[in-house]
Chain A
């Protein structure tokens, strides 16, 4: 099945810094979503972005489907941005289910 790899696995930054999280996938996709998992476990939708670029406040995302990667940018980080960020894809060829990466744990220190 499709493989999803996220990097880096851990990222520690100071408040105000910018960060880039990467998601590589091994096959064509017809769905790609970025989530932020809050401390209570709920997955919060950030972007639905199978291709192209989107922005929402301090966050933006770009997916280059032909090169099989997506990037999540966080600018001017705040302590509330801390948590685990997941990329998840639906394989364009196989079963229509979300396949998750292992996540990037982001820690923003004050």
Chain B
């Protein structure tokens, strides 16, 4: 079974721009969660989508948004990029919502200049 895939793997953007990251879950998994990893804050939960609905949301500003499609693929969008948004963005999929085992993709490394 193919694992979780994320595109693109690396991205360089300028302050003020917006960016869209994509995540394809493991086949059959319906839950997709997004996490941000920075050296200062560690790994932090952004949001979770299940059956095309946002089920949980972390403590991030409204510039961070996401969506999930009927095939369970998910995208996250960050608008009006700030230098502090430079991070590794990780996507995880699981069969069920919430407490079931999560499997992570390779991540997208975003650099904002």
Contact = CB atoms under 8 A, between A and B. Distances in A.
B42 A102 contact: yes
B8 interface: no
A103 B42 contact: yes
B99 A30 contact: yes
Contacts of A98: 33, 35, 45, 92, 102
B68 interface: no
Interface of B: 33, 35, 37, 42-45, 48, 55-56, 58, 88, 90, 92, 97-107, 109
Interface string A25-39: 000001101010000
Given A86-B43, A100-B43, A102-B42, A33 B102 contact: yes
A96 B107 contact: no
Interface stretch (A42-50, A51-59, A61-69): A42-50
Nearest to B6: A42
Given A31-B99, A41-B88, A90-B99, A97 B106 contact: no
B98 A99 contact: no
A35 B37 CA distance: 14
A17 B37 CA distance: 30
A96 B43 CA distance: 15
